[in-house]
Homo-oligomer: A and B are copies of this chain.
């Protein structure tokens, strides 16, 4: 089953791209938490489509309605349910995808799993639109974490092969974090950001799409979160990150690069800095033995290029079992990295909050 996640904080998502609504039920929020609704809207708009040339012109507003768990401007401690109506539906665009699956999409696997009964319109339950409720929940989680002194930021570490500066190379301060959250395409090196944008627009002109890598950092996390083995921080975070459609790789700290290092270089040596135990490097991304070390948590997620492209592609008619040519109609993003950045931040926030609410912490 797809829809339920978490231990101390539990999420239950629902919805399809063209159903009456999509939404989420959040169980386990601390009671009495004041919600900054404007900030939730801001976070959701970062993900929403139609804001610029890099994105589909779909006019989804992502206007949410809180149905329960919210009283006098604060959380009640009982399940908080949120619903987002599906406004702008153009089902006709999708009428044929059930019989001729779009390459790179879940049309075929969804058909097999659900015996053809799933709502295929717009990708149905597999639609990237289902990340909107995640961002709603993630925005709340980030608000709570900020109260605990934890800040989460993400940027496009690469798009179409254009690489941005890494977090570890700069001094991550409040100003940078705010600039990243405010920008159309979050990049530490703004020049690289512009280059990425032009690559995205070039791909669009050529009826193609591009992918990228999102790097995320969490600052202020106490040492001792997480567990060895099945509930390691990496296990929980990767489990959530791979829930995001289009993510095909996840790495922590130096990640795949560490596999080419020698132990003498890879090991993060301990030092005392400002009277605190710290490490001189952070190749383990703030996690050792599945448990946080108090160093910044750093991870990256690989995002595949948008499968929806307007070029002619080969597919099959699953009923006649004949090969056919297919051009994906409708409106698509030439690159989802910009809109996926707040989703990755949300995923991190939700996992970290789930751990912060752990009994023994």
Q: Which of B1, B2, B67, B115 contacts A21 (CB 8 A)?
A: B67
Would you list which residues of chain A between 9 and 37 have a CB under 8 Å from chain B? Answer: 10-16, 19-23, 25, 27-28, 30-32
Complex Cα gap A212–B359 (Å): 37
Q: A174 at the A/B interface (Cβ < 8 Å)?
A: no
Complex Cα gap A145–B152 (Å): 38
Give the Cβ gap from A167 to chain B, nearest Cβ, in Å: 16
Q: Which of B2, B235, B288, B316 contacts A242 (CB 8 A)?
A: B235
Residue total for A at the interface (Cβ-Cβ under 8 A): 151
Would you list which residues of chain A between 253 and 280 have a CB under 8 Å from chain B? Answer: 253-256, 258-264, 266-272, 275, 277, 279-280
Would you list which residues of chain A between 48 and 73 have a CB under 8 Å from chain B? Answer: 65-71
Supposing A1-B27, A118-B71 touch, asked if A238 and B256 sit within 8 A by C-beta, the answer is no
Q: A302 at the A/B interface (Cβ < 8 Å)?
A: yes
Chain B contacts for A268, CB-based, 8 A: 103-104
Q: Which of B12, B227, B260, B272 contacts A25 (CB 8 A)?
A: B12
Give the Cβ gap from A20 to chain B, nearest Cβ, in Å: 5
Select from chain B the residue with minimum beta-carbon distance to A15. Answer: B68
Q: Is the CB of A76 within 8 A of B255?
A: no
Contact with B along A206-242 (1 / 0, CB 8 A): 0011111100000000011111111110111011101
Q: Which of B4, B230, B262 contacts A209 (CB 8 A)?
A: B262
Q: A311 at the A/B interface (Cβ < 8 Å)?
A: yes
Complex Cα gap A211–B303 (Å): 25
Oligomeric state, in copies:
4
Q: A165 at the A/B interface (Cβ < 8 Å)?
A: no
Q: Is the CB of B229 within 8 A of A32?
A: no
Give the Cβ gap from A203 to chain B, nearest Cβ, in Å: 6
Q: A195 at the A/B interface (Cβ < 8 Å)?
A: no
Q: Is the CB of A284 within 8 A of B105?
A: no
15 extra A-B contacts, CB within 8 A, seeds A2-B78, A15-B81? A1-B231, A2-B290, A14-B27, A76-B124, A211-B266, A234-B242, A248-B251, A248-B253, A248-B285, A258-B302, A262-B305, A269-B313, A270-B315, A272-B323, A358-B359
Select from chain B the residue with minimum beta-carbon distance to A118. Answer: B76
Complex Cα gap A283–B309 (Å): 16
Complex Cα gap A8–B354 (Å): 13
Give the Cβ gap from A258 to chain B, nearest Cβ, in Å: 5
Q: A243 at the A/B interface (Cβ < 8 Å)?
A: yes
Most chain B beta-carbon contacts within 10 A, residue among A10, A263, A303 = A263
Q: A160 at the A/B interface (Cβ < 8 Å)?
A: yes
Q: Which of B76, B106, B210, B227 contacts A1 (CB 8 A)?
A: B227
Give the Cβ gap from A50 to chain B, nearest Cβ, in Å: 20
Supposing A31-B115, A68-B15, A259-B249 touch, asked if A3 and B243 sit within 8 A by C-beta, the answer is no
